Amino acid sequence: MTVPTGTGTPRTASPELLRSVFRQHAAGVAVITASGGRPVGFTATSLSSVAAEPPLLSFGVGTGSSSWPVIAEAEYVGVHLLGEDQRELAATFARSGADRFGPSTDWRAGPEGVPLLGGVVAWMICRVVARVPAGDHRVVIAEVVLGEPPDDGRPLIYHRGRFTALRD
């Protein structure tokens, strides 16, 4: 195997190696929500478009997260793309033990009982079609059934361990 020449020393694969590499990978920020007697939600940077026909997307969720028991059983989830002015909302849904659906969060029950966040760049209601085991996570594949397309809002980005905005 040929090893590329770089500025660092190659390291054996580890969770820290993966984290350090992906800190350099800028990703859009989404909040995934669901309801199963109570609303749950979490910040995700793993959102990905899977197929256009049918319209499928995917995201990862840790099986140790407080949202997993509801996501594991939910038939529908909400996917919300956050705007550059929503850093605090992203942080709230990323913080363990936070009151994610408290008085400071603008939300309502939407179609299929899915919690919908207000003021986001775009949202989609998706029907879960698969939960694929992937280490200590599950990759959820879901089909988009309804949504509100974006206006011209600017996205929130996650890069180098923090929420940031695009620069022109």
CA distance linking residue 52 with residue 43, whole number of Å: 24
CATH number at residue 63: 2.30.110.10
Specify the number of domains making up the chain: 1
Structure pTM? 0.90
Sequence length of the chain is: 168
- β 76-81/30-35 pair status: antiparallel
Residue 10 lies in a domain: no
In a domain, 83, yes or no: yes
The string of pLDDT tens digits covering residues 99-158 is 999 999 999 999 999 999 999 999 999 999 999 999 999 999 999 999 998 877 899 999
**Dihedral over Cα of 82, 70, 61, 162: its sign:** positive
Alpha helices in the chain (DSSP H): 15-22, 68-73, 87-94
> Has residue 168 been placed in a domain?
no
Cis peptide leading into 54, omega within 30 of 0? yes
Which pairing describes strands 27-28 and 156-159: parallel, antiparallel, or unpaired?
antiparallel
Q: Model confidence over 130-144: pLDDT tens digits?
A: 999 999 999 999 999
Residue 48 lies in a domain: yes
Is-contact 26 14, C-beta < 8 A? no
Is 80 contained in some domain?
Answer: yes
